[in-house]
Structure 1
Amino acid sequence: MATASWPPVRAVSAAAVCAAGLLALCGPAVADGPYGIDDLRGAPPARAESTLDDRGVQFVPRPGVPEPPRVSAMSWAVTELGSRKILAAKDAHRPLPPASTLKALFALTVLPRFSQGTVHTVSGADLAGIESGSALAGVKEDTPYRVADLWHGVFLSSGSDAVHALAAMNGGWGKTIADMRATADRLGARDTTVESADGFDTPGQFSSAYDLSLFGQAGLANPDFAHFAATKTAQFPVDGGADTYGIQNTNRLLVGSHGVAPYDGLIGVKNGYTSHAGNTLIAAARHGGRTLLVTVMNPRSGADNAVYEEARALLDWGFEAAPRAAAVGMLPAPASAERDPGAGKAVDGGPTTKLRRAAAGRPGSDANAVIVWSFSAAGAVAAAGLGTALWWRRRRPDGPEDGQPS
């Protein structure tokens, strides 16, 4: 009986060792999945799919992680922006009226299109169609305003007059609504239907806690958006001259007003209210190197400032839970709100882009990709080892080796 020649054995053994080394190196990447670095040390197995489509509160119980607070909001979500993990949520895809939180989508769409120093003289036509009862910044017709002043009116005063002026610069109310719909689609906001650029109650207009989280994430990635969202006070022009008056951000959790204490580390983003939508809020805060984003839609408790206090409770929970909390879903990687004119159809993408978007919503998709890569690499190394073995076999002279019988 023939025995194996030693050079091929050594080659195959080396291939096996290399493959094992590759798998060992990839181990931490696989373990650092939606359940944290110790996924493989007693945590429940990672879920293959997001649970965000399920009704009710979604949360993965885990040792050392407290349960989310019980709040009265019809829908909410808590996201860690660094990892894009949605740590807990309630009815995240439930379509609800967004009120002025929809101005975040308006800003994502229009903000990149005009320099902050550009001056626009507002006409009477610009301000036509403002709904009675809308919040106003004090924009006047036949008056020049810098674009930066108008954005202060949008973010701080939630002014529909400032939105109308900027929409006019963008080509009109109808075009801006169409542009916002396109932006929502590019960001992957499947629950949002835009019928009014300023978020005023309009039949058929909806968004969701998940989609508002997408808008908050994309907004904070834009330096201008992040600046305006975090601005507490500003001076607004009077009659185009040197005179100004002070305006203050209506986000009570940011500035501390009306009996609401400011939240430590809050960095914006946008609040809203209408009689139909109730109170809505996108709020982000940063503690150390961790940033959390909370969306709260329509608290039902009837308590004063409920939207702010429920957001506070969810932020407090998120900062405590985030180091070990599991993900119930993932936000996709931030996408550009603006289409690159030179990129053509590649921006919206074909099947490859759709697959990438689908994978982004699955908590285990990154780890699965690492596993596939690891075994592919191991197979390549093993194949190289076998090739070496064959080369050695062809290289040695025919006949028994080292005096062994054939």
Structure 2
Amino acid sequence: MPAPKKALRRSLTVTSAALTALALLSPTALAAPGPSASPSASPSATPPASMSTVGGARLGKPGTQVELAGGAPVLPKDVTARSWIVADAESGDVLAAHNAHWRLAPASTLKMLFADTLLPKWPKTTKHKVEVSDLAGIGAGSSLVGVKEEETYTVHDLWLGVFLRSGNDAVHVLSAMNGGVEQTVADMNAHAEELQALDTHAVSPDGYDMPGQVSSAYDLTLFARSGLQKKDFREYASTVRAKFPGETKKDKKGKTTRKPFEIQNTNRLLAGDYDVDVYPGIAGVKNGNTTNAGATFTGVAERDGRVLLVTVMNPAKDEHNEVYKETARLFDWGFKSAGKVRPVGQLVAPRSAAQGSPSAEASGEAGGTGKGAGGTKPVAGAPAADGSGGVGVAAGIAAGALVLLAGGAFLINRKWPLPDLVRRRTRP
């Protein structure tokens, strides 16, 4: 079908009721997994003098790249990240960047590439019984969701574990289903090349620090933009909390039970924390933290019909949740600068799109039905049927609808828009 000339507009406003409800959650309940141990050496302290020029020559230069027009606000001065980027998710315009192509350890933000690569492979109802070998090779200190050997999980369960708890155990089980870690890493690297994410070299599918494993703020933003073309990816990335299957237990009478437990998203701009508010309009995407990478984060948010992607890698300022605070400042700047800055580069389309052959993934459909299972509460979801949705984003949001673009997902001039994420309507 002919590509649309405009992407559909969206409304992703997070309501004040949701903010209030999330503020009541305890910091302990929202604690993020700690950084993993690192087997590799620390990266250099300064960026290379020249870097990749994918997306434009200015993006290959070290330092901050921005071109302010009349009335544009100055960039926030308290952004200390080694690398960051602010881009328009629809047009692909890079509004500002700092060392955008610096190849750094990505931490669990690399799971965006993992998910974008593997999500289409199985319907979410597919079941898998975990073998001991599935959980082999998980790095010491890894973030885990609580997958148990000899237990059966659906693919939906496992993806919730990947997106919400950044579970390396869930990643390894899905990798085993895909033929193993080696095959999965090869698939990820091939997909990165297709996306023209040429700064990236994956060694471990979960983002755990490994020698030679690198990505960049530019590439992580490409992964987010590609993943957000997929309906399932958008749903998982926007889920604040969900139920995850527990361990099967047998009582004294021999009766077996398997009670689920709640998992919460460690993305602080989505779920909030004692020192970070839920960011208005946030709809994902993925956070990470390892010894080499420090804190990393890619987020997507909407305001007044504009959708921005922001990636922040390794803030130098050593404060709790600093990566989210710096991301929020860059989002604020990006929304205030709409139409007041000249782009300094572009987020490139995949090779197949650039060659005029839209990928099958552009439809936004991943494997499975895309329908949420019981216990899942996406940002756009209606309150839970049992009334427990009062503590969460769904508490302040009426039933929403996922709206996908009909037809091709690529704009003219090789620009790649973001299909509608989630339409949110506040309660009257």
> How many matched pairs?
299
The residue number in structure 2 matching 1:120 is 128
Q: How much does 1:333 deviate?
A: 3.0
Q: Distance in 1 between matches of 2:272 and 2:144?
A: 21
1:326 equivalenced with 2:326 (yes/no): no
Deviations 1:205-252 (A, max 9, x none): 000000001001001111100110010000000136551000000011
Distance 1:252 1:118, change over 3 A: same
Pair 49,296 (structure 1): closer, same or farther in 2 beyond 3 Å: closer
Is residue 170 from structure 1 mapped to residue 186 from structure 2 by the alignment? no
The superposition leaves residues 232-281 of structure 1 with CA deviations (integer Å, 9 ceiling, x where unpaired) of: 00000013655100000001111001421110110000000001110000
Match of residue 226 from structure 1: 234
Equivalent residues of 2:126, 2:155 under 8 A apart: yes
Distance 1:233 1:145 in 2: 18
Deviation at 1:323, TM superposition (A): 2.2
**1:146-295 paired onto structure 2 within 5 Å:** 146-239=154-247, 242-295=258-311
Runs of 4+ in structure 1 deviating by more than 2 angstroms, as ranges, are: 239-242, 333-341
Higher helix content, 1 or 2: 1
Taking a change above 3 Å as real, the CA distance of residues 104 and 72 of structure 1, as seen in their structure-2 partners, is: same
Kindly state the Cα deviation for residue 155 of structure 1 after the two structures are TM-superposed: 0.3
User: Residue 260 of structure 1 aligns to which amino acid in structure 2?
Assistant: V
Give the drift of 1:49. Answer: 4.8
For 2:147, which of 136, 139, 144 is the aligned residue?
A: 139
Q: How much identity, in percent, do the aligned residues show?
A: 50
**CA distance in 2 between partners of 1:161 and 1:336 (Å):** 33
Matching residue's letter, 1:58 = Q
1:76 aligns to what? 84
Please, which runs of 5 or more residues in structure 1 have no aligned partner? 1-28, 30-47, 342-358, 362-406
Q: Is the 8 A contact 1:252 1:260 kept in 2?
A: yes
Residue 63 of structure 2: aligned partner: 56
Correspondence for 1:89 among 97, 107, 130: 97
Give 1:336 shift: 7.3
Q: Which amino acid aligns with 1:114?
A: W
Q: Deviations over 1:40-69 (max 9, x none)?
A: xxxxxxxx9541001100000211111221
Which residue of structure 2 lines up, in the alignment, with residue 356 of structure 1?
none
Decide which of 114, 137, 148 is 1:129's aligned counterpart: 137
Preserved CA contact (<8 Å) 1:236 1:247: yes
Correspondences of 1:339-354 after superposition (within 5 Å): none
Q: What TM-score comes out, normalization by structure 2 length?
A: 0.67
Mapped to 2, the partners of 1:242 and 1:178 lie a distance apart of 36
CA distance in 2, matches of 1:217, 1:153: 21
CA contact (8 A) 1:218 1:335 kept: no
> Deviation at 1:360?
5.7
Letter of the structure 2 residue corresponding to residue 172 of structure 1 = G
**SS of match in other structure, 2:133:** coil
> Deviation string for 1:88-113 (max 9, x for gaps)?
00000000000000000000111110
Instruction: Indicate the SS of the match to 1:125.
Output: helix
SS at match of 1:79: strand
1:290 partner letter: R
Q: TM-score, normalised by structure 1?
A: 0.71
